[in-house]
Amino acid sequence: MIQVNNVSMRFLISHDRITSLKEYITNFIKRQLQYEEFWALKNISFSVAKGEVIGIIGKNGAGKSTLLKIISGILKPTEGSVKCDGNIVPMLELGSGFDPDLTGRENIFLNGAILGYSKDFLEDKYNEIVGFSELGRFIDVPIRNYSSGMLARLAFSIATVVNPEILIVDEILAVGDAAFQEKSKARMMELMSGGTTVLFVSHSLDQIRELCNRVIWLENGTIKLIGNTEEVCSEYSKAYKID
Partner 1 sequence: MNYLINQYKNIKKYKFLLQQLIIRDFKTKYKRSVLGVLWSFLNPLLTLAVQFIVFSTIFKSDIPNFAMYLIIGIVFFNFFTESTSMGLISIVSNASLITKVYIPKYIFPVSKVLSSAINLLLSMIPLFIVALITGVRFTLAILLLPFSLLCTIIFCIGMSFILSTAMVYFRDTQFLWGVISMLWMYATPIFYPESILPKNLLILFKMNPMYHFIRFARAIILNGASPEFKAYLFCIIAAFVPFIIGTVIFKKAQNGFVLHL
Report the site for partner 1 in 15-34 (rule: CB under 8 A): 19-22, 24
| Residue 222 touches partner 1, criterion: CB under 8 A | no
Closest CA to 218 of 36, 44, 30, 4: 44
Contact flag: residue 93 with partner 1 (CB under 8 A): yes
Q: How far is the CB of 122 from partner 1 (least distance, A)?
A: 9
Contacting residue, 1, 5, 52, 102, with partner 1 by CB under 8 A: 102
Q: Tell which positions 116-175 bind partner 1, by CB under 8 A.
A: 116, 118-119
Task: Give the end-to-end CA distance of the chain in Å, rounded to a whole number.
Answer: 33
The side-by-side arrangement of strands in the sheet containing 79-84 is 35-48, 2-14, 79-84
Q: How far is the CB of 152 from partner 1 (least distance, A)?
A: 15
Task: Kindly indicate which of the ranges 11-19, 123-131, 184-192, 211-219 contains the residues binding partner 1, using the contact rule CB under 8 A.
Answer: 11-19
Q: Using the rule CB under 8 A, is 40 a contact of partner 1? A: no
- Cβ closer to partner 1: 82 or 191? 82
- What's the closest the beta carbon of residue 136 comes to partner 1, in angstroms? 23
What is the Cα–Cα distance from 125 to 121, expressed in whole angstroms?
6
> Which residue, 22 or 137, is less far from partner 1 as judged by CB?
22
Number of residues that bind partner 1 (CB under 8 A): 31
**Is 76 a residue that touches partner 1 (CB under 8 A)?**
yes
**Interface positions with partner 1 (CB under 8 A):** 11-12, 19-22, 24, 69, 72-76, 88, 90, 92-93, 96-97, 99, 101-102, 106, 109-110, 113-116, 118-119
